[in-house]
A = this chain, B = another copy of it.
Amino acid sequence: MNRKTAWQISFHASAELHNGGPGAHRAMTTVARSSRYRRQSDTGLSRMEIMEGAALCFEAHGYSATSIDEVAARIGSTKGRVYHHYASKAELFLDVYRTGMTMIFEAIEPYLEAELPAVDRLRSVLKAHVLCVIRTKPFQNVVSQGVDMLRHGTMPAKEHAELAHLARLRDAYSDHFLTVLEQARAEGAIDYRNIKIALNSVFMCINGPIVWFTPRDNQSLEDIDLLAEECVLYAIRLLGVTDERPARTHPRPTHEGATA
């Protein structure tokens, strides 16, 4: 149970911390914890570990059906630890939400300014989006829930500040796609009627894996890549493109300057 293949998230054991804050540059490798209690400087790692557990729980039963005790149990801990890092369940949720947004933002960013025809840029961005969605599925699921909660005006409230900020982030993300769509149409490469409906349909397609994707332990990175490629293909076709060449993405934007 709870198996995890290599390409899936396990950010508390990786070098990528999206929260900034102290401890963000630590622990390149997972060190077996010596003591029961963690060092002060690792608070960033601790928060990320909590968020991963929370994301998995939220994904499984949704926000309100998830108890803090369950989140704690999932990472072999207790309430105390969670409430030491987060003031409330809502704050934890919002942090997962924001982190998920940051992840996918950073995933597509390298491809937004490429010197390519708009359609090809679109292809690249969509591909990057889908790959990120698959890798960080629990987080993106929480993002979906968050968007839904905004839409329905639900939400524990009280943290309207962070909420509004996240809403603006979401809009900014969406706007990037709107822009590329308009450019691609101007270049005569794609076609749609109502751009909002078109964009929504594209999003439904490329976010599909959030709902229907189930990791199989025998599938390789290439399998995942093919799967993502197919999602992109359908999303692009939907816009009236008949040309079938694959998306152009770098193997993986590498942050480490280390030599292989």
- Chain A residues in the interface with B (C-beta under 8 A): 59-65, 148, 152, 154, 193-194, 197-198, 200-201, 204-205, 207-208, 211-212, 227, 230-231, 233-235, 237-240, 242
Q: Contact check: which of B62, B154, B239 meets A64 at CB < 8 Å?
A: B62
Residues from chain B with Cβ under 8 Å of A62 in the complex? 62-65
Cβ 8 A contact of A61, one of B60, B64, B193, B194: B64
7 closest cross-chain pairs (CB), A and B: A64-B65, A204-B204, A204-B208, A201-B234, A238-B238, A234-B238, A200-B212
Q: List 18 A-B contacts (CB under 8 A).
A: A62-B65, A64-B64, A64-B65, A65-B154, A148-B211, A194-B227, A194-B230, A198-B230, A198-B234, A200-B212, A201-B208, A201-B234, A204-B205, A204-B207, A205-B238, A237-B237, A237-B238, A237-B240
A97 to B198, CA, bound (A): 29
A204 touches B211 (CB 8 A): yes
A212 to nearest B CB, angstroms? Answer: 5
A197–B63 contact, CB under 8 A?
Answer: no
When distances are taken between beta carbons in the complex, the residues of chain B under 8 Å from A60 are 152, 154
Whole-angstrom distance from the CB of A258 to the nearest CB of chain B? 36
CB distance from A137 to the nearest CB of B (A): 12
Q: How far is the CB of A88 from chain B (nearest CB, A)?
A: 16
Q: In the complex, A197→B200 CA distance in Å?
A: 18
Question: Closest CB-CB distance, A3 to chain B, in whole Å?
Answer: 16
Query: How far, in whole Å, are A59 and B154 apart by their CA atoms in the complex?
Result: 11
